[in-house]
Amino acid sequence: MSDDPKISQRYRELPREEPPRALDDAILAASRRAVQSRPAPLVAPTGRRRWYVPVAAAAVITLAVAVTLHIQHDRPSEEIDAVAPAMKVQETPAPKATEPARAERRAPQPFAAAPSAPAPAAAPAASPAAEAEPRGDIGAASSGVRASRDERVRAQAQVARTAMEQGPEVILERIAELRKQGRHGEADKALAEFRKRYPDYRLTDEMRAKVEKK
Amino acid sequence: MEAPDELLMLAYRDGDAGAFETLYARHRGALYRFVLRSLKDRSDAEELFQEAWIRVIEARERYAPSARFKTWLYTIAHNLLVDHWRRKGLTLVELNDDEHASPDNPAHQVEARETAARFLQALEALPPAQREAFLLHEEGEMSVAEIAAATGTNEEAAKSRLRYAMTKLKAAVDE
């Protein structure tokens, strides 16, 4: 390519404008906030950042316990009602740890209290081994409800995981499908999310016509 | 020796906020002028400039140095511009003469202003793709291959756009 120095010179003579200070500050503040709240890296870091791993592990464990308790706490009342009379008839000595856990579950308690002190004691009551024990009709009814709930949770997680693993083309096809169905609000949100996720993805004209609002 | 952009971006990805500051300081002026001269409205330009950097920040976890950082950065800006053009159309920012008055003698000032105005007019009159190629070349200091990569076109098209832009601007300067 033949550069013309005269053109460059003319261009360089134009005012060399710079972004305003406030804009610089806003962008740099956003960049700092982002690294302060960043998730743990996939590869274990070395050196001074080694403490990330135990902190992340502790956070994951706390979250897992909190979610388990939350699920227990939010169990539908019919399920508990169905279990309660049967418990009376059967009068089987339940493991001691489960009783306070059930009583606790029935007591009105704010959600915020769930991950606090009693959490570790209640956790074993929900252990998979306890759930798997055969308990006649009661066990069947309750584990049936639980199984369907678990299935639902697993299905939701699978959908989320699939969405994460999808390539940009698959996501775009879905956005196009939403547009076709006239669900423009959802399509707009999905497209905005897509652009954040793939900022340098170049849409073809054909795809752009499909995913953008006309 | 200065750290390459790509290493700075990797350092930022791994949590080094200072690396981003260096990277930002290195590219802020050129990217700002690139965006500013591609759009008519200054506030639109500032918004788009900020959005481009926010996209960089948000995409840091997925950043892999498969291309030059600068090409990646300008590709993001290009995509945002394309979206903007589609929504609003394109004209160039009018520079405020009073803000940029030079301390030279009045006759020279008038001549310089006229030359600058003519040049800006010619730049403004360029078709968007040609203007973009020219701005990427001047502000981004990009080669034809890099312009092609940043704008999602082939090298022949990028070369042709740049050549047309240069020819038209040269005609304006020689007037």
Distances (CA, A) of A72 to A76, A98, A132, A194: 9, 12, 16, 35
Interface size between A and B, measured as CB pairs under 8 A = 117
Point out the least confidently predicted range of A73-77, A110-114, A157-161, B145-149: A110-114
Q: How many residues does chain B have?
A: 175
Using a 10 angstrom Cβ sphere, with 0-12 exposed, 13-18 middle and 19 or more buried, the burial of residue B131 is: buried
Say which residues have a Cβ less than 8 Å from residue A64's Cβ, sequence separation at least 6: none
Taking residue B32's Cβ as centre, other Cβ atoms within 10 Å add up to 23
Residue B129 has pLDDT above 70, yes or no: yes
**Is the Cβ pair A200, B119 closer than 8 Å?**
no
- Residue B17: closest C-alpha in chain A: A32
- Residue A198: closest C-alpha in chain B: B59
Contact A211, A179 (CB under 8 A): yes
Average pLDDT, chain B: 83
Contact B136, B150 (CB under 8 A): yes
Distances (CA, A) of A131 to A139, A143, A146: 8, 7, 9
- How far B1 CA lies from chain A's nearest CA (Å)? 24
Beta-carbon-side half-sphere exposure of residue A154 (alpha carbons within 13 Å): 6
User: What is the rounded CA–CA span in Å between residue A194 and residue A196?
Assistant: 5
Using the structure block, give the residue that is written with the tokens 């009709």.
Answer: A137
Residues 32-91, chain A, touching B (beta carbon < 8 A): 32, 34-35, 38-39, 41, 45, 49
Contact B88, B79 (CB under 8 A): no
Q: How many residues does chain A have?
A: 214
User: What is the rounded CA–CA span in Å between residue B98 and residue B40?
Assistant: 18
Chain B interface test: which of A1, A16, A55, A200 (most B C-beta within 10 Å): A200
pLDDT tens, position by position, B5-26: 999 999 999 999 999 999 999 9
The amino acid that residue A96 corresponds to is: K
User: What is the rounded CA–CA span in Å between residue A14 and residue B49?
Assistant: 20
- How far A31 CA lies from chain B's nearest CA (Å)? 6
pTM: 0.54
Residue A126 has pLDDT above 90, yes or no: no
**Is the Cβ pair B59, A199 closer than 8 Å?**
yes
The pLDDT of residue B89? 55
Taking residue B144's Cβ as centre, other Cβ atoms within 10 Å add up to 20
Mean pLDDT of A141-153: 61
CB proximity B98 to A under 8 Å: no
User: What is the rounded CA–CA span in Å between residue B129 and residue B155?
Assistant: 13
Query: Which chain A residues touch B120 with a CB distance below 8 Å?
Result: 14
pLDDT tens, position by position, B134-159: 999 999 999 999 999 999 899 999 99
